[in-house]
Structure 1
């Protein structure tokens, strides 16, 4: 269950280019102007990877040192939110009750490739079931899994930073549930080996700060169609930039750390901030 919890958090944290980003690939961006007294930063993250692949750039550590607050998609320091993650993993209705007999048999066969059976996970929610994909995308023991946000939190705690979140667990699980129903999740689970290949390419792009390549990989239509992109990324980006990020930045300097898939696009965080009048600059 502990391992599934890690994969679940990574999964729900899950995911057209703009010219200034095409010319300035970076995972870290400075946000200034528009009345701000001090700059804030937006850091694109890769939620979960094996320790052998994990890197955190010195410039990110330096940016964290300059701000007063670290804000993630979720506030991992809030015990209420972490309890909500645990609760969302369970369902009152069994998975098998939502499927025909043939569909349940098919799911059981698919789950065998993940080392479990339908009977063992029958009380899981569809969102928790989706998190099994992380086992293919992160093929290492739990002790060797690194979560970028948790590493940032650890550094921030050592220097006395305060913490916040851009949304609640309920917001993320709602977006995931609307994007991927149970039958779609089964289809995605069947593509687990493709996810493993995709993950290798994404990690390479992330570590090389090739934001354009990472964005294209994250939005591969085999795994995320346009409707799912709108629900999982665009609508959440609009909510963050229109309602939450400006107020936080006006109050104090912030390092926002969000999944790399949220950065680019017409409705990506960077372009939305630019449209609101902020100056967006890549940090080298």
Structure 2
């Protein structure tokens, strides 16, 4: 239960890269530039319920806000109910990327999971072609500094969800996103699979289903990931699902606030 509950509130892309067999690359795919008018609101807050199998497990809030050429994203994830009693999780994530190019600027996280408390920041220095990570364990007091080559324009784990919304999403087509995680670049293919009607607590939506996969393929018998975006220019992710070997996690939209 301990391993499972730690993952429950964490957003979909973290689950994606934890459950795909992928190889890092020094020649990542070129990140397509965002399309003007698609999926990048000036200000928006999306709230989700998170279920593990049939049990309520957590709540997640994604807040987006534009500032000049930067798109800022903040995520608050908290466990609830029985999971909260067994293993409390309260995580915070921030990322930002360039609205013109899609290139990630920075990614940070503050994790409080049971007795574990870790803060980290990851900055992308394209001029010097390197990524710089600073991490501190607040319980042990141990700090870690790490640098690694940055082969080109990349997306981070959190930005990738909303960067994908900036693309046309034509059924039957796919595109690649170079996602940077664990100080390496992993090519992730976004397969635009079908159109579906999806019912969530906030309403029923006409959607486009996207399946992220790594070039090396999904780990055999481990799981699959899907994201359902609204079939309009907003491309709001109204549902996200990770079907894993230990159960299924489902994120469903409960509310939208554009103020």
* Same-fold status (TM-score > 0.5): no
What TM-score does the superposition give when structure 2 sets the normalisation length? 0.22
Q: Greater share of strand residues, 1 or 2? A: 2
Q: Greater share of helix residues, 1 or 2? A: 1
Higher relative contact order (Cα pairs below 8 Å, separated by 6+ residues):
1
Structure with the greater alpha carbon radius of gyration: 1
What TM-score does the superposition give when structure 1 sets the normalisation length? 0.21
